Chain A
Amino acid sequence: EPEVTQTPSHQVTQMGQEVILRCVPISNHLYFYWYRQILGQKVEFLVSFYNNEISEKSEIFDDQFSVERPDGSNFTLKIRSTKLEDSAMYFCASSADRGAYGYTFGSGTRLTVV
């Protein structure tokens, strides 16, 4: 079964540092997403991306966040200046069709900001 791969699985960073979370979506998928889950809380939508541009973003996805698809396979989430409250599990997901709710999620990157 095809998988969405995320690296690293765990990242520790100092407050104020930039981090880049990496994802390799399923190869024939066209729609890409980032979600996050703070420990003990709900899974929250951050951003959706299609055709090399952001389709939709949440209020969480402010100027400190950016996404990029630098080549044909990777999809990245950058946080420019991390804050303590950015500590969370970050999940990348992809789907073949915007209309299909069957998104495939990766196993996540646990980001710890100290």
Chain B
Amino acid sequence: LAKTTQPISMDSYEGQEVNITCSHNNIATNDYITWYQQFPSQGPRFIIQGYKTKVTNEVASLFIPADRKSSTLSLPRVSLSDTAVYYCLVGDPYNQGGKLIFGQGTELSVKP
């Protein structure tokens, strides 16, 4: 399983764009990159998933360079309610038996 490295914490202010980068140097050919968000005392919530280039949904964008050794989650115009822990997960969803491997995540703090 590919190991991921992401910052332990980040601070931002309301209205700013936040970019959280995740390194995954040993990503395998069949691996996808997925981001989850977790609020205190709640279960993780799926944000976005991608394989290469750029993926965008109503919540976030995911940028993946050609070598796929890193990825960046972009949150546009954050609000206080975006304060949460963000997890980058890398793996082959078709051959992992449902096992998601969570790291420590990035604790994002959004200030007024």
Interface centre among A44, A55, A102 (most CB of B within 10 A): A102
Asked whether B99 lies within 8 Å of A98 as measured between CB atoms, the reply is no
**Chain A min CB distance to B108 (Å):** 17
A75 part of interface (Cβ distance < 8 Å): no
B97 to chain A: which residues have CB within 8 Å?
A: 48, 55-56, 98
Binds A, one of B20-28, B40-48, B65-73: B40-48
A76-114 residues with Cβ-Cβ distance < 8 A to B are 89, 91, 93, 95, 98-108, 110
Q: Which residue of B lies closest to A106 (CB)?
A: B43
Interface size on B, residues (CB 8 A): 24
Asked whether A55 lies within 8 Å of B103 as measured between CB atoms, the reply is no
Instruction: State the CA gap A108–B42 with chains docked (Å).
Output: 6
A45 part of interface (Cβ distance < 8 Å): yes
Residues of A whose CB lies within 8 Å of any CB of B are: 4, 31, 33, 35, 42-45, 48, 50, 55-56, 58, 89, 91, 93, 95, 98-108, 110
**Chain B min CB distance to A80 (Å):** 23
Interface string of B68-106 (1 = CB under 8 A from A): 000000000000000000010101011011111111100
**Chain B min CB distance to A106 (Å):** 5
Asked whether B100 lies within 8 Å of A102 as measured between CB atoms, the reply is no
B99 to chain A: which residues have CB within 8 Å?
A: 45, 48, 56, 58
Instruction: State the CA gap A108–B94 with chains docked (Å).
Output: 26
A100 to chain B: which residues have CB within 8 Å?
A: 93
**Chain A min CB distance to B107 (Å):** 12
